[in-house]
Structure 1
Amino acid sequence: MIVITAPTGNIGRHLLSRLLESAPAAGEELRVIVRDPARLPDAARGRVEVITGSHADTEVLDRAFEGADAVFWLVPPDASLAPHDAYSGFTRPAVKALAVHGVGHVVGVSALGRGTPVADRAGLVTASLAMDDLIAGTGVAYRALANPSFFENLLEESDSIRDKGVFTDTVDADRKAPLVAVADIAAAAAGLLLDRSWTGTGSVPVLGPEDLSPNDLARIMTAQLGRPVRYERQPLDELYTTLVGYGLNEAFVQGVADMKRAKDEGLDAGVARTPDTASPTGFEQWCAQTLKPAVLS
């Protein structure tokens, strides 16, 4: 039995789709924890066991982890909480439930940066790495998917790209870094969940096929969209003020700003790209398949 948390989110929906294709042949049953079962895809109807509720809820977790062999663990970001509470605080009930029900394997969504000089001052990433340590401390076999920033973050700027030809971030325009498509993260998770021959704890970097700078992204978007796109660097203090103005928790916003600063100082540059750490989806392909329809719709 494989339990999937956040099955309707960016990564979870890709993972659920993959497991619906592969799990039956492997003799695996699927169980999902979801707040709103109506958001599940039609393909899942009658093929997965549904536990309705939040995976921060102890009673929900007890029902979901009963008889489970493996869990896909993803913490949805909660901008109303400080980073430690948003990650480790959210995960503590699951840590107890893993032990109570003897779950053998957990695959979690985390971040790059462990072992780098800025890892302990990287805001949300520091909190995510602490969550990994919390889960690993249970003795369960654990793999943390160590991810850089997602291509999908650009979808939040599709209106600006369409109307102004501009996207923003806080990093240097020429700083190259890995970027990844969420579908590739889901593929890595599916492989680990279906083949549980691994033991102990560790991280699995998912780095995409190449490092790209904001200026590289602008060049590729210009070519793919057939219209000029440029990058504007936003000062960190301006980002902080904007997010606080939206009513977000100030400690969470500081965590975002600290993460952005750490990324500009090389947080994501500590892992070499190899055939094992690279993932296949390139930015050009993702632009054509995902960003272009969103911008031009």
Structure 2
Amino acid sequence: MIVVTTPTGSIGHQVLDALLGSGEPIRVIARDPSRLSSHTRERVEVVQGSHCDIEVVNQAFADADAVFWLVPPNVRVENVEAAYVDFSRPACDAIKSQGVKRVVAVSALGRGTAVAAKAGHVSASLKMDDLIASTGVSYRALTMPSFMDNILRQMEPIRNQGMFFGPISGDRKLPTCATRDIAAAAAKLLLDPTWSGQDRVPILGPEDLSFNDMAQIMSQVLGKPVRFEQVSFEAFRAGFIERGASEAFAQAMVDMLEAKNEDLDTAEPRTPESTTPTSFRQWCEEVLKPAVAS
């Protein structure tokens, strides 16, 4: 039995799609099962509720061989560390009590770096990893840089103004990955019963790019000029708060990007194993361009 959390989320639904054809029994935890397609509901067992609820995870993890774990974003949270660590405590209790064999979770790059101690969401993710590992379960933390798919959050200014924004220098080259590659790596691990122990699995995409590089590629794919504009960290923080985020969430975003600006993501050496296939150009052609056109 494989358990999938966040089955309707941007990564979780891709993990679930990759698993559906495997023939393995699958159970999902969903707050709103109606958001699952009818085809999916026919193929999986559904446990309704939140995966921070001890009764829900105890039910869902019963007889589970493997669990895909992802903490959903909560822009209104008042304590970011608690949003990752406290949210995961019931699951960790259920991992032990229900005898879960393997867990694959979405985490972040940065372990062992000097800047990881004050890196907002990254710091919280790494503490979540420590909590899950403390259960003794065989564990793989998928560690990623920023997602290509995050650009979809700026669809309106890209479409209407030919611009996208961020506080990191437009010339700084950083790794970036597609969520489809995260999902593929997760599904491969979930379907493989042979691994054990605890380790990290970096997912770095195929190349390091600057935001100016991305703007050039986006311009070519979309057939219109797109440029990147750097904004201050304070303006970036204020923008999140204006859109309804808590001060804690917004500050954690700033802390994370400041850490990335200080080489948090580039400390992980690129290897053939950590280099994943989807290029930014391919992602723009297959994901961004249709989204802009719609």
Q: Matched residue of 1:31: which SS?
A: strand
**Residue aligning to 2:147:** 150
Matched, 1:128 2:134: no
CA–CA distance in structure 2, aligned partners of residues 246 and 219 of structure 1: 28
Amino acid at match of 2:41: R
- Cα distance in 1 between the residues matched to 2:163 and 2:41: 41
Letter aligned with residue 52 of structure 2: A
TM-score of the pair, normalised by structure 1: 0.96
Deviation of 1:273 (Å):
1.7
Q: Which residue of 1 aligns with 2:215?
A: 218
The residue aligned with 2:275 is: 278
**Per the alignment, in what secondary structure is the counterpart of residue 10 of structure 1?**
coil
1:56-205 correspondence runs (5 A): 56-81=52-77, 82-205=79-202
Q: 2:283 and 2:238 mapped to 1: Cα distance? A: 31
The alignment yields a C-alpha RMSD, in angstroms, of 1.0
Look up the SS of the partner of 2:68 in the other structure.
strand
Q: Distance in 2 between matches of 1:254 and 1:86?
A: 14
> Which of 31, 34, 38 lines up with 1:35 in the alignment?
31
Instruction: Report % sequence identity.
Output: 54
Deviations for 1:171-207, whole angstroms, at most 9, x for unmatched residues?
1111111111101000000111111212111110011
Residue in 1 that maps onto 2:48: 52
Instruction: Tell me by how many angstroms 1:68 deviates.
Output: 0.7
State the alpha-carbon separation in 2 of the partners of residues 244 and 30 from structure 1. Answer: 38
Q: What one-letter code is carried by the residue in structure 2 that aligns with 1:6?
A: T
After superposition, the C-alpha distances for 1:27-75 in whole angstroms (9 at most, x for unaligned) are: x210000111111133313211000111111111111011111100000
- Equivalent position to 1:245, from 218, 242, 258: 242
Provide the rounded CA distance (Å) in 1 between the counterparts of 2:187 and 2:239.
Answer: 37
Deviations 1:70-89 (A, max 9, x none): 10000001122211111001
- Residue ranges of structure 2 left out of the alignment (5+ in a row): none
Give the stretch that moved more between structures: 245-254 or 183-192: 245-254
Hey, what's the Cα distance between the residues in 2 that align with 1:116 and 1:58?
A: 33
For 1:293, the equivalent position in structure 2 comes to: 290
Task: Provide closer, same or farther for how the CA distance between residues 245 and 159 of structure 1 changes in structure 2, counting only shifts above 3 A.
Answer: closer
Name the CA distance, whole Å, in 1 between partners of 2:243 and 2:228: 23
Aligned length: 293
Q: Distance in 1 between matches of 2:41 and 2:245?
A: 36
Tell me the SS of whatever aligns to 2:199.
Answer: strand
> How far, CA to CA, are the matches of 1:270 and 1:42 in structure 2?
44
Query: Residues of 1 paired with 2:230 and 2:273: CA distance?
Result: 33
